[in-house]
Amino acid sequence: MHSGSCLCGAVRFEIAGALPPPDACHCSQCRKHSGHFFASTDVPRAALTIHGADKITWFRSSEKARRGFCSVCGSSLLWDPVDQNKHDWIGIAMGAFDTPTGTRLRIHIHVADKGDYYDIADDLPQNQH
């Protein structure tokens, strides 16, 4: 079991089972949503329990996804594919976990769109798109 919350604690979550290795998305939308690149893990919807879901505000950021954040403190928490019939998972922000996750980043994605103020200095795979 893994647990986490937003900064103020109004939204808390639990995930049953192991966490898949996270990715780091460098697209401009993720950077604007999180303040830097967005590291998240994609978990099965059935494994996720959210407490305080009424405090999540959803913003449809593209045709493909909506982003969830705490309406009280503004913490970036979720990346949710719009077509849930095709996707049985939801992305959870790695920074929102309270406990050690036991995971490591597996890949950098959308690096062609990354900010010019930092370098990717590890040896992980990089997907340009």
Cβ neighbours of 108 (radius 10 Å): 20
pLDDT bin (cut points 50, 70, 90) of residue 84 is confident
Nearest to 77 by CA among 63, 64, 88, 90: 90
Distance CA 71, CA 11 (A): 9
Distance CA 101, CA 94 (A): 8
Q: What is the mean pLDDT of residues 10-23?
A: 96
- Look at residue 86 in the predicted model and tell me its pLDDT: 78
Fold of 2-116: 2.170.150
- Look at residue 14 in the predicted model and tell me its pLDDT: 97
Q: What is the mean pLDDT of residues 70-98?
A: 93
Q: What is the mean pLDDT of residues 53-64?
A: 95
pLDDT bin (cut points 50, 70, 90) of residue 51 is very high
**Rounded to two decimals, what is the model's pTM?**
0.92
What residue spans define the domains of the chain? Answer: 2-116
- Look at residue 13 in the predicted model and tell me its pLDDT: 98
Nearest to 66 by CA among 55, 76, 54: 76
> Is 11:74 a contact under the CB 8 Å cutoff?
no
